Amino acid sequence: MKKSLLLFFFLPNFVMAEVLHVDLICEGESALYCEDSKKCGNEPAVEIIKIVGNTLIHKIHGNQFLEVNDNMVSYEEIDTDGSIGFSLNINRQTGKIEIIRGWSKPYHFTGVCQQPHIKNPYDPT
């Protein structure tokens, strides 16, 4: 009896995993759109992205639940007419990112993401 209770005590530790927090700085290009919503150029841009567990946390794009696998982190929301409302794709091996937002203010960003390199204050090197 005591052994089975001990097993139930440790079982949650095997099942539960620590939530991953990742901050990304993505440098690339953002498409510029004219008043008629047609693409009329590109400009350099930076996206700062925070991923907590499987959730995107972003000031402009909001909080989105992401599909995560070994190769990709993605999210796609389709409008009622079948066009892309919001799409995010990050390649986990290369760091390439693409963000597309449809709706009234179109936005298209492509670039490469990296984790910021922050020096540990306790590291003597």
Residue 51 near residue 45 (C-beta atoms within 8 A): no
Q: List pLDDT tens digits, range 68-109.
A: 888 898 999 887 888 888 899 999 899 999 998 887 778 899
Q: Which two tokens stand for residue 66?
A: 């992401």
Sign, CA dihedral 49-51-56-58, equals: negative
| Of 4-8, 17-21, 48-52, 91-95, the least confident | 4-8
Does 119 or 80 have the greater pLDDT score? 80
Residue 106 near residue 99 (C-beta atoms within 8 A): no
Amino acid at site 116? P
The domain ranges of the chain are 21-114
pLDDT of residue 111: 95
Rounded to two decimals, the pTM is 0.73
List the one residue out of 66, 53, 1, 44 whose CA is nearest residue 22.
53
Mean pLDDT over 8-30 rounds to: 69
